[in-house]
Amino acid sequence: MGKSVKFPFVNRELSWLNFNERVLQESEDTSVPLLERLRFLGIFSNNLDEFFRVRVATIKRMAAIDNKLKGLDINPNELLKQINQKTIELQGRFEKNYQIINKALKSEGIHIIDHFNLLPEHISSINDYFEEKVLPTLVPIMLKEGNFPKLSGNAIYFAIKLSTSKKKTDYAIMEIPSMVVPRFIVLPAVNNQKYVILLDDIIRYKLHDIFKIFDYKKIEAYTIKVTLDAELDIDDDISKSNIDILTKGLKLRKTASPVRFIYDKAIPKDLLDYILKNAEPSESDSIIAAGKYHNFKDFIGFPNVGTKKLRFKELPPLEHPVLNKNISILNSISKNDVLLNYPYQSFNYIINLLREAAIDPNVTSIKINLYRVAKNSKIIHALINAVKNNKKVTVIVELRARFDEQANINWANKLQDQGVKVIFGIPGLKVHAKLILINRKEGKKTVKYGHVGTGNFHENNASIYTDTSLLTSHPGITNEISKIFRLFKNTYERPTFKHLIVSPFNARRRIGTLIDNEIKNAKEGREAYIIIKLNNLVDDTVIKKLYKASSNGVKIQLIVRGICSLVPGVKGISENIEVISIVDRFLEHNRLFVFCNNGNELYYLASADWMSRNLDLRIEVACPIYDEKLQKEIKDILNFQLTDNCKARLVNTKNNNSYRVTDSIKKVRSQEAIYAYLKGQLA
């Protein structure tokens, strides 16, 4: 490749929309159980909300200073236009598919009904439910000049038109209390048919009761939703505490600017005009006509009604073949490294590891870093229990974990109240590594036990995210984990690492060296290949390095769930690169790397995607896998994914998300195959 070659890149926002289209495809796939298809619509909607709150909000700010920005791959205003066009296209498919799923549910005896088609058998229970559960939560606001409320980005609202017999019109707005009252209510079955109604439609049914003190002849309610800029504007005033700074930022988020406005396309023009005039979305905001229901993310929690065939087959977490319930986990790790694969295997092993360390009289200290944890975190409880047993416990809490900031502030306060030493990371670097270090006295020496993983210490996420953990007592690895924890105390240190790849210290250099080694071997006629599994591949320097490897004959197989700015299959640049994306019942989240290394393969698991922020602005860790049995396990798992011909999509120049077709007659659905493979280890 000469210097004049223009390297192809896909814009990250447009690539992300292609990923969310793959989620939408799952809801359109008739082989997916019906209730799961409905939940994929909820996931699609939730993803899109976050995309607008974060990425579109950022692009809007870029557009405001467009003439001052250099080196962008696309004009921000043009990008906003393309995003809106794609969003409208996907929204149309979304609405159509919801109707298809709704019709199919009816054929299974499940009816999602609204206030127009209630059965007489339902009236009494709806009236009682409304009086007891719903009415006390409703706060309608009669709209007059100057009293339009600030709309929350987390809520949905009814814009209400109230008409009198004298053709006088009033307007009101009312939040649908879906965060305090369940969004779905299962009504009594009638003739073996099941019925579900949305909270929205119970409120619509009772509108005249809500406004009964007025003499309105007609009352209409239409759903609206605003999406607000969720980026925190946090200054670097070191005279304030971290928590004070972040709390201020969270308050600013609540009063942020709108980036998207969605409304029921059936809304009367006068009501819409009134709302838009007062909600004040700017001309560049996305103003989108949609269906009757918003905040479709709530459909992720649609009730389990109907037969089992309407849901995914249960895959209960498996036991691990080495970690016996009756044997000390620490003793097991002292003999051999252990690999855990979630959600196929139980996350309880991590909780039990901390519980064991909390009561083991020989354990002197526990260190861990927390990015996200569950609402009722067993991890937190185990750490507090360790303090009560006189262990020294240090927790690195990342306060800037997006949308978990308030929860992490609360956990930090609780941990400190219980005597845990809490450290809030390093200024300017978000801590995203997944580390545990346990020190244990064994005879006259202290032995270190370490955990390096790809996912958060979040037991709920571990049931739906595919992640991998390494438990090890390897001195080289655990000593370097100790170096990382020491860094939070002595931030001026610049440690060196032989085993671990640590952002921002050596990640770029080590990744570059690993790729260069494959290029060297390919040039010398040796076998050379790279297998990389990531969530996102965006960093242009790494992508150019992969292009160079491809053009020199290195075979590269990429499994990228989300954003992929690399363009495979371009002659002379990336013709030796294949990229697939797998979207299925579990969210693919683990990062795994394999380098041929002239036949002596190198294996890594990592917390980091290959994005600039992960390589330069975060504490991230990639850890080598030295045990040959565990290397084989990782290779087998990756091979299931590389041969997937059910849920793998091709990422290519067409960006059409076509399903990957293989020569194999046998159907390979990688997530089910991995579960069967790990279950087979127990035989």
Q: Closest by alpha carbon to 453, among 350, 352, 323, 542?
A: 350
**For the packed helices 670-680 and 628-642, what is the interaxial angle rounded to 10 degrees?**
150
pLDDT at residue 260 in the model: 83
Average pLDDT, the chain: 90
- pLDDT tens for 525-548 read 999 999 999 999 999 999 999 999
* Fold match between domain 32-310 and domain 502-680: no
Instruction: State the sign of the Cα–Cα–Cα–Cα dihedral 641, 643, 647, 650.
Output: positive
* CATH architecture of the domain covering 329-489: 2-Layer Sandwich (3.30)
Using the CB atoms, write b or e for 530-549: b if 16+ within 10 Å. Answer: bbbbbbbbbbeebbbbbbbb
User: Phi and psi (nearest 5°) for 308?
Assistant: -65, -25
Q: Are strands 465-472 and 587-588 parallel, antiparallel or unpaired?
A: parallel
pLDDT at residue 1 in the model: 53
The whole-angstrom separation of Cα 592 and Cα 532 is: 6
Which residues is 224 bridged to in the sheet? Answer: 157, 263
Number of helices (H), then strands (E), in the chain: 19, 26
Find how far residue 644's CA is from the centre of its chain: 22
The whole-angstrom separation of Cα 192 and Cα 544 is: 61
| Domain 502-680 classification at class level | alpha beta
Amino acid, res. 603: Y
Question: Do the Cβ atoms of 329 and 339 come closer than 8 Å?
Answer: no
Break the chain into its structural domains and give their ranges.
32-310, 329-489, 502-680
pLDDT at residue 234 in the model: 41
**For the packed helices 76-107 and 34-51, what is the interaxial angle rounded to 10 degrees?**
160
The whole-angstrom separation of Cα 111 and Cα 188 is: 12
Q: CA dist 55 to 259, 286, 296, 371, Å?
A: 10, 13, 20, 21
Reading phi first (left if > 0) and then psi (alpha if -120 to 50, else beta), residue 280 is in left
Question: What is the DSSP secondary structure assignment for residue 132, as one 8-state letter?
Answer: I
pLDDT at residue 303 in the model: 95
Question: Do the Cβ atoms of 357 and 386 come closer than 8 Å?
Answer: yes
| Domain 32-310 classification at class level | alpha beta
The whole-angstrom separation of Cα 5 and Cα 144 is: 61
The whole-angstrom separation of Cα 391 and Cα 478 is: 19
Q: What is the DSSP string of 595-661?
A: E-GGGS-EEEEES--BSHHHHHSEEEEEEE---HHHHHHHHHHHHHHHT--SSEEE--TT---PBP-
- pLDDT tens for 128-166 read 999 999 999 999 999 987 788 888 888 999 999 999 987
The CB-side HSE value for 416 (13 A sphere, CA atoms) comes to 12
Residue 320 annotated among the catalytic residues of the structure: no
pLDDT at residue 252 in the model: 45
Question: Do the Cβ atoms of 610 and 536 come closer than 8 Å?
Answer: yes
Assigned token pair, 547 = 């292009």
Instruction: State the sign of the Cα–Cα–Cα–Cα dihedral 92, 93, 97, 98.
Output: negative
Q: What is the DSSP string of 62-117?
A: HHHTGGG--S-SS-HHHHHHHHHHHHHHHHHHHHHHHHHHHHHHHHTTEEEE-TTS
Instruction: State the sign of the Cα–Cα–Cα–Cα dihedral 535, 539, 540, 546.
Output: negative
pLDDT at residue 256 in the model: 61
- pLDDT tens for 349-394 read 999 999 999 999 999 999 999 888 888 899 999 999 999 999 999 9
The whole-angstrom separation of Cα 112 and Cα 128 is: 20
Q: CA dist 297 to 43, 49, 173, 293, Å?
A: 6, 9, 22, 11
CB atoms within 10 A of CB 67: 4
CB atoms within 10 A of CB 506: 17
Give the residue ranges of the chain where pLDDT is below 50: 232-240, 245-246, 249-250, 252-253
Three-state DSSP state, 177: coil
The whole-angstrom separation of Cα 51 and Cα 46 is: 9
Assigned token pair, 422 = 């809490």
- pLDDT tens for 445-477 read 999 999 999 999 999 999 999 999 999 999 999
Which residues is 184 bridged to in the sheet? Answer: 198
The whole-angstrom separation of Cα 97 and Cα 102 is: 8
The whole-angstrom separation of Cα 55 and Cα 623 is: 30
Q: What is the DSSP string of 603-622?
A: EEEES--BSHHHHHSEEEEE
Which entry of 122, 294, 320, 432 is annotated as an active-site residue?
432
Q: Closest by alpha carbon to 523, among 552, 557, 485?
A: 552
